[in-house]
Homo-oligomer: A and B are copies of this chain.
Amino acid sequence: MTSAGTRQNPDSRPAHARESASQAGELARRIRERDWRALAKAITIIENGSPEAAELCAALFPHTGHARVIGITGPPGSGKSTLVDALTGVIRKDGRTVSVIAVDPSSPFTGGAVLGDRVRMQRHAGDPGVFIRSMAARQAAGGLAPATRDVIRALDAFGSDVIVVETVGVGQVELDVMKVADTVIVVTVPGLGDGVQTIKAGLVEIADCFVVNMADRPGAAQSVADLKTMLTLGGAEERRRRWVPPVLETVALTGQGVEAVWEACERHHRVLEQDERMGRVRERLRQEVVESVSRAIVGRVEDALRENGALEGVLGAVMRREIDPRSAAELIVSQYLRR
Protein backbone atom coordinates (compact mmCIF):
# COMPACT_ATOMS: atom_id res chain seq x y z
CA MET A 1 0.00 0.00 0.00
CA THR A 2 2.65 2.43 1.09
CA SER A 3 4.84 1.66 -1.86
CA ALA A 4 1.99 2.18 -4.29
CA GLY A 5 1.69 5.76 -3.03
CA THR A 6 5.21 6.53 -4.21
CA ARG A 7 4.67 5.21 -7.74
CA GLN A 8 3.57 7.49 -10.50
CA ASN A 9 1.03 5.43 -12.41
CA PRO A 10 0.00 2.53 -10.23
CA ASP A 11 -2.95 1.76 -12.48
CA SER A 12 -0.83 1.37 -15.58
CA ARG A 13 0.96 -1.63 -14.12
CA PRO A 14 -0.15 -5.05 -15.34
CA ALA A 15 -2.43 -7.09 -13.07
CA HIS A 16 0.33 -9.44 -11.91
CA ALA A 17 2.48 -6.49 -10.86
CA ARG A 18 -0.37 -4.95 -8.85
CA GLU A 19 -0.96 -8.31 -7.21
CA SER A 20 2.73 -8.68 -6.41
CA ALA A 21 2.74 -5.21 -4.83
CA SER A 22 -0.26 -6.04 -2.68
CA GLN A 23 1.33 -9.33 -1.61
CA ALA A 24 4.50 -7.41 -0.76
CA GLY A 25 2.42 -4.95 1.25
CA GLU A 26 0.78 -7.80 3.14
CA LEU A 27 4.16 -9.40 3.89
CA ALA A 28 5.55 -6.05 5.05
CA ARG A 29 2.52 -5.58 7.33
CA ARG A 30 3.08 -8.99 8.93
CA ILE A 31 6.77 -8.23 9.42
CA ARG A 32 5.91 -5.02 11.27
CA GLU A 33 3.69 -7.11 13.56
CA ARG A 34 6.80 -9.17 14.42
CA ASP A 35 5.65 -12.28 12.52
CA TRP A 36 8.81 -14.42 12.41
CA ARG A 37 7.66 -16.57 9.52
CA ALA A 38 6.92 -13.49 7.42
CA LEU A 39 10.39 -12.16 8.22
CA ALA A 40 12.07 -15.44 7.27
CA LYS A 41 10.10 -15.52 4.01
CA ALA A 42 11.05 -11.93 3.23
CA ILE A 43 14.73 -12.63 3.78
CA THR A 44 14.58 -15.61 1.43
CA ILE A 45 12.88 -13.45 -1.22
CA ILE A 46 15.62 -10.83 -0.88
CA GLU A 47 18.44 -13.40 -0.91
CA ASN A 48 17.14 -15.08 -4.04
CA GLY A 49 16.64 -11.76 -5.81
CA SER A 50 13.10 -12.88 -6.61
CA PRO A 51 10.98 -10.53 -8.77
CA GLU A 52 8.88 -9.54 -5.76
CA ALA A 53 11.98 -8.35 -3.85
CA ALA A 54 11.79 -4.80 -5.22
CA GLU A 55 8.12 -4.41 -4.26
CA LEU A 56 8.81 -5.86 -0.84
CA CYS A 57 11.73 -3.52 -0.17
CA ALA A 58 9.65 -0.54 -1.32
CA ALA A 59 6.88 -1.58 1.10
CA LEU A 60 9.34 -2.00 3.99
CA PHE A 61 11.36 1.14 3.40
CA PRO A 62 8.98 3.70 5.01
CA HIS A 63 9.18 1.69 8.23
CA THR A 64 12.97 1.66 8.49
CA GLY A 65 15.55 3.97 10.00
CA HIS A 66 15.09 2.92 13.60
CA ALA A 67 17.67 0.17 14.08
CA ARG A 68 21.35 0.63 14.83
CA VAL A 69 23.68 -1.52 12.79
CA ILE A 70 26.88 -2.90 14.35
CA GLY A 71 29.32 -4.52 11.92
CA ILE A 72 31.79 -7.11 13.23
CA THR A 73 34.64 -8.36 11.10
CA GLY A 74 38.15 -9.74 11.40
CA PRO A 75 40.38 -12.58 10.24
CA PRO A 76 39.18 -16.20 10.32
CA GLY A 77 39.82 -17.79 13.69
CA SER A 78 39.47 -14.58 15.69
CA GLY A 79 36.35 -15.84 17.47
CA LYS A 80 33.90 -13.41 15.87
CA SER A 81 30.89 -15.70 16.26
CA THR A 82 31.56 -16.28 19.95
CA LEU A 83 31.97 -12.55 20.46
CA VAL A 84 28.73 -11.85 18.59
CA ASP A 85 26.90 -14.40 20.75
CA ALA A 86 28.25 -12.87 23.95
CA LEU A 87 27.52 -9.35 22.72
CA THR A 88 23.97 -10.37 21.87
CA GLY A 89 23.51 -11.46 25.50
CA VAL A 90 24.82 -8.11 26.75
CA ILE A 91 22.57 -6.10 24.43
CA ARG A 92 19.55 -8.17 25.50
CA LYS A 93 20.35 -7.44 29.17
CA ASP A 94 20.26 -3.79 28.17
CA GLY A 95 16.63 -4.37 27.13
CA ARG A 96 17.08 -4.11 23.33
CA THR A 97 16.03 -6.63 20.72
CA VAL A 98 18.84 -7.99 18.55
CA SER A 99 19.11 -9.50 15.10
CA VAL A 100 22.29 -11.12 13.83
CA ILE A 101 23.20 -11.66 10.17
CA ALA A 102 26.28 -13.78 9.51
CA VAL A 103 27.44 -12.95 5.99
CA ASP A 104 29.67 -15.49 4.27
CA PRO A 105 31.10 -14.04 1.07
CA SER A 106 32.97 -17.25 0.15
CA SER A 107 33.34 -17.95 -3.52
CA PRO A 108 30.12 -19.25 -5.08
CA PHE A 109 32.15 -22.28 -6.15
CA THR A 110 33.64 -23.30 -2.84
CA GLY A 111 30.19 -22.97 -1.29
CA GLY A 112 31.85 -22.15 2.02
CA ALA A 113 30.19 -23.54 5.11
CA VAL A 114 27.53 -21.24 6.46
CA LEU A 115 27.49 -21.18 10.24
CA GLY A 116 24.91 -23.50 11.69
CA ASP A 117 22.12 -21.10 12.61
CA ARG A 118 20.42 -23.72 14.74
CA VAL A 119 23.54 -24.31 16.79
CA ARG A 120 24.04 -20.62 17.31
CA MET A 121 20.39 -20.06 18.16
CA GLN A 122 20.64 -22.47 21.11
CA ARG A 123 22.34 -19.96 23.37
CA HIS A 124 19.38 -17.62 22.92
CA ALA A 125 16.77 -20.33 22.51
CA GLY A 126 13.33 -19.27 23.58
CA ASP A 127 14.24 -15.56 23.55
CA PRO A 128 11.84 -13.88 21.09
CA GLY A 129 14.06 -10.79 21.22
CA VAL A 130 16.85 -12.51 19.26
CA PHE A 131 16.83 -13.41 15.56
CA ILE A 132 19.82 -15.06 13.87
CA ARG A 133 20.31 -15.75 10.19
CA SER A 134 23.14 -16.63 7.81
CA MET A 135 23.55 -15.33 4.29
CA ALA A 136 25.89 -16.89 1.71
CA ALA A 137 27.27 -15.40 -1.48
CA ARG A 138 25.90 -18.12 -3.70
CA GLN A 139 22.37 -17.19 -2.67
CA ALA A 140 22.52 -13.47 -3.28
CA ALA A 141 21.72 -12.91 -6.94
CA GLY A 142 22.37 -9.15 -7.07
CA GLY A 143 25.49 -9.08 -4.91
CA LEU A 144 25.93 -9.76 -1.23
CA ALA A 145 26.29 -6.17 -0.01
CA PRO A 146 23.00 -4.93 -1.59
CA ALA A 147 21.20 -8.07 -0.34
CA THR A 148 22.55 -7.50 3.17
CA ARG A 149 21.33 -3.90 3.06
CA ASP A 150 17.84 -5.03 2.11
CA VAL A 151 17.81 -7.77 4.78
CA ILE A 152 18.85 -5.15 7.34
CA ARG A 153 15.81 -3.10 6.32
CA ALA A 154 13.53 -6.09 6.81
CA LEU A 155 15.01 -6.62 10.30
CA ASP A 156 14.67 -2.89 10.97
CA ALA A 157 10.97 -2.90 9.98
CA PHE A 158 10.60 -6.04 12.11
CA GLY A 159 11.50 -3.82 15.07
CA SER A 160 15.06 -4.91 15.86
CA ASP A 161 16.73 -2.29 18.02
CA VAL A 162 20.23 -3.50 17.18
CA ILE A 163 21.30 -5.43 14.08
CA VAL A 164 24.68 -7.12 14.24
CA VAL A 165 26.23 -7.92 10.87
CA GLU A 166 29.08 -10.41 11.13
CA THR A 167 31.21 -11.20 8.09
CA VAL A 168 32.68 -14.66 8.00
CA GLY A 169 34.97 -14.45 4.98
CA VAL A 170 37.60 -12.00 3.83
CA GLY A 171 37.99 -9.68 0.88
CA GLN A 172 36.29 -6.84 -0.94
CA VAL A 173 32.77 -8.06 -0.22
CA GLU A 174 33.51 -7.99 3.50
CA LEU A 175 34.50 -4.36 3.18
CA ASP A 176 31.39 -3.50 1.15
CA VAL A 177 29.15 -5.23 3.67
CA MET A 178 30.74 -3.34 6.55
CA LYS A 179 29.83 -0.04 4.89
CA VAL A 180 26.19 -0.58 5.91
CA ALA A 181 27.15 -0.45 9.61
CA ASP A 182 26.83 2.57 11.90
CA THR A 183 29.60 1.20 14.12
CA VAL A 184 32.28 -1.15 12.81
CA ILE A 185 34.13 -3.45 15.22
CA VAL A 186 37.31 -5.11 13.95
CA VAL A 187 38.32 -8.23 15.87
CA THR A 188 41.77 -9.77 16.03
CA VAL A 189 43.56 -12.21 18.33
CA PRO A 190 47.07 -12.43 19.75
CA GLY A 191 49.31 -14.83 17.90
CA LEU A 192 47.67 -14.70 14.48
CA GLY A 193 50.98 -13.60 13.04
CA ASP A 194 51.39 -9.90 13.65
CA GLY A 195 47.99 -8.85 15.01
CA VAL A 196 48.02 -5.69 12.97
CA GLN A 197 49.08 -7.37 9.75
CA THR A 198 46.10 -9.72 9.84
CA ILE A 199 43.69 -6.80 9.59
CA LYS A 200 43.02 -5.76 6.03
CA ALA A 201 44.04 -2.24 5.13
CA GLY A 202 40.56 -1.12 4.08
CA LEU A 203 39.04 -2.36 7.33
CA VAL A 204 41.37 -0.36 9.53
CA GLU A 205 40.12 2.79 7.87
CA ILE A 206 36.46 2.06 8.57
CA ALA A 207 36.95 0.62 12.08
CA ASP A 208 35.26 2.44 14.96
CA CYS A 209 36.44 -0.03 17.61
CA PHE A 210 39.14 -2.70 17.82
CA VAL A 211 38.77 -5.83 19.92
CA VAL A 212 41.67 -8.11 20.78
CA ASN A 213 39.75 -11.31 21.52
CA MET A 214 41.16 -14.36 23.37
CA ALA A 215 43.01 -11.79 25.45
CA ASP A 216 43.99 -14.49 27.96
CA ARG A 217 46.48 -15.76 25.38
CA PRO A 218 50.12 -14.66 25.45
CA GLY A 219 50.83 -11.56 23.40
CA ALA A 220 47.52 -9.78 24.01
CA ALA A 221 49.15 -6.69 25.50
CA GLN A 222 51.49 -6.50 22.51
CA SER A 223 48.58 -6.71 20.07
CA VAL A 224 46.81 -3.89 21.91
CA ALA A 225 49.96 -1.79 21.88
CA ASP A 226 50.49 -2.46 18.15
CA LEU A 227 46.94 -1.41 17.32
CA LYS A 228 47.24 1.77 19.40
CA THR A 229 50.50 2.66 17.65
CA MET A 230 48.88 2.08 14.30
CA LEU A 231 46.02 4.40 15.25
CA THR A 232 48.35 7.24 16.18
CA LEU A 233 50.10 6.83 12.83
CA GLY A 234 46.90 7.12 10.82
CA GLY A 235 45.32 9.62 13.22
CA ALA A 236 45.52 12.63 10.94
CA GLU A 237 42.17 12.07 9.24
CA GLU A 238 39.39 14.41 10.24
CA ARG A 239 37.00 11.78 11.57
CA ARG A 240 39.71 10.32 13.78
CA ARG A 241 40.01 13.66 15.56
CA ARG A 242 36.45 13.40 16.83
CA TRP A 243 36.51 9.70 17.64
CA VAL A 244 39.63 7.69 18.33
CA PRO A 245 38.70 3.98 18.08
CA PRO A 246 39.21 2.30 21.45
CA VAL A 247 41.25 -0.90 21.56
CA LEU A 248 39.51 -3.37 23.91
CA GLU A 249 40.42 -6.81 25.22
CA THR A 250 37.87 -9.61 25.48
CA VAL A 251 37.66 -13.30 26.26
CA ALA A 252 34.41 -13.86 24.42
CA LEU A 253 34.12 -17.47 25.62
CA THR A 254 33.78 -16.35 29.26
CA GLY A 255 32.15 -13.02 28.46
CA GLN A 256 35.08 -11.08 29.91
CA GLY A 257 35.25 -7.55 28.53
CA VAL A 258 32.19 -7.91 26.30
CA GLU A 259 30.13 -5.37 28.24
CA ALA A 260 32.85 -2.81 27.55
CA VAL A 261 32.45 -3.50 23.82
CA TRP A 262 28.77 -2.64 23.98
CA GLU A 263 29.55 0.46 26.07
CA ALA A 264 32.00 1.53 23.36
CA CYS A 265 29.25 1.12 20.75
CA GLU A 266 26.92 3.26 22.87
CA ARG A 267 29.61 5.88 23.33
CA HIS A 268 30.34 5.93 19.62
CA HIS A 269 26.63 6.44 18.96
CA ARG A 270 26.48 9.40 21.37
CA VAL A 271 29.71 11.02 20.17
CA LEU A 272 28.65 10.96 16.55
CA GLU A 273 26.41 13.98 16.55
CA GLN A 274 22.98 13.80 15.04
CA ASP A 275 24.16 15.87 12.06
CA GLU A 276 27.03 13.54 11.33
CA ARG A 277 24.86 10.43 11.65
CA MET A 278 22.36 11.90 9.22
CA GLY A 279 25.20 12.86 6.93
CA ARG A 280 26.39 9.26 6.87
CA VAL A 281 22.87 7.98 6.23
CA ARG A 282 22.42 10.48 3.40
CA GLU A 283 25.74 9.50 1.84
CA ARG A 284 24.85 5.81 1.97
CA LEU A 285 21.43 6.43 0.44
CA ARG A 286 23.01 8.58 -2.27
CA GLN A 287 25.38 5.76 -3.15
CA GLU A 288 22.53 3.29 -3.19
CA VAL A 289 20.43 5.45 -5.54
CA VAL A 290 23.39 5.97 -7.88
CA GLU A 291 24.10 2.22 -7.92
CA SER A 292 20.44 1.44 -8.54
CA VAL A 293 20.39 3.92 -11.41
CA SER A 294 23.42 2.23 -12.95
CA ARG A 295 22.01 -1.24 -12.54
CA ALA A 296 18.65 -0.24 -14.00
CA ILE A 297 20.24 1.46 -17.00
CA VAL A 298 22.56 -1.43 -17.72
CA GLY A 299 19.66 -3.87 -17.54
CA ARG A 300 17.54 -1.87 -19.96
CA VAL A 301 20.34 -1.21 -22.43
CA GLU A 302 21.33 -4.88 -22.49
CA ASP A 303 17.70 -5.87 -23.07
CA ALA A 304 17.38 -3.31 -25.86
CA LEU A 305 20.62 -4.45 -27.50
CA ARG A 306 19.39 -8.03 -27.51
CA GLU A 307 16.12 -7.03 -29.13
CA ASN A 308 17.10 -4.55 -31.81
CA GLY A 309 19.66 -5.04 -34.54
CA ALA A 310 21.99 -2.16 -33.61
CA LEU A 311 24.55 -4.51 -32.13
CA GLU A 312 24.70 -6.93 -35.07
CA GLY A 313 25.68 -4.26 -37.58
CA VAL A 314 28.46 -2.89 -35.41
CA LEU A 315 29.60 -6.40 -34.53
CA GLY A 316 30.31 -7.22 -38.17
CA ALA A 317 32.71 -4.29 -38.35
CA VAL A 318 34.35 -5.43 -35.12
CA MET A 319 34.72 -8.98 -36.49
CA ARG A 320 36.45 -7.54 -39.57
CA ARG A 321 38.70 -5.59 -37.11
CA GLU A 322 37.58 -2.33 -38.74
CA ILE A 323 36.62 -0.87 -35.39
CA ASP A 324 37.66 -1.87 -31.89
CA PRO A 325 35.08 -2.95 -29.30
CA ARG A 326 35.39 0.17 -27.17
CA SER A 327 34.89 2.56 -30.07
CA ALA A 328 31.97 0.41 -31.22
CA ALA A 329 30.47 0.74 -27.76
CA GLU A 330 30.81 4.53 -27.91
CA LEU A 331 28.85 4.57 -31.17
CA ILE A 332 26.04 2.59 -29.57
CA VAL A 333 26.02 4.65 -26.37
CA SER A 334 25.36 7.84 -28.30
CA GLN A 335 22.13 6.27 -29.55
CA TYR A 336 20.80 5.58 -26.06
CA LEU A 337 21.69 8.56 -23.93
CA ARG A 338 20.02 11.94 -23.83
CA ARG A 339 22.87 14.34 -23.42
Contact = CB atoms under 8 A, between A and B. Distances in A.
A324 B5 CA distance: 11
Contacts of A203: 109
Contacts of A202: 109
B296 A298 contact: no
A110 to B, nearest CB: 7
Interface string A32-67: 000000000000000000000010011001111100
Copies in the complex: 2
B328 A292 contact: yes
A338 interface: yes
Contacts of A282: 315, 319
Interface residues of A, number: 65
Among A8, A175, A297, A338, residue most surrounded by chain B Cβ atoms (within 10 Å): A297
B319 A290 contact: no
Nearest to A60: B324
A202 to B, nearest CB: 6
Interface string A142-181: 0000000000000000000000000000111001000000
A296 B334 CA distance: 10
A231 interface: no
Contact of A285 (B292, B294, B315, B332): B315
A327 interface: yes
Contact of A62 (B64, B314, B321, B330): B321
A323 B335 CA distance: 30
Q: Chain A: interface secondary structure?
A: helix
A298 to B, nearest CB: 4
Interface in A172-209: 172, 175, 200-203
Nearest to A106: B171
20 contacts: A3-B324, A8-B331, A58-B324, A58-B326, A61-B321, A65-B321, A107-B170, A107-B171, A109-B200, A278-B319, A293-B333, A294-B298, A294-B302, A296-B330, A297-B336, A297-B337, A301-B337, A336-B337, A336-B338, A337-B337
Interface of A: 3, 6-8, 54, 57-58, 61-65, 107-110, 170-172, 175, 200-203, 278, 281-282, 285-286, 288-290, 292-298, 300-302, 305, 311, 314-315, 318-319, 321-333, 335-338
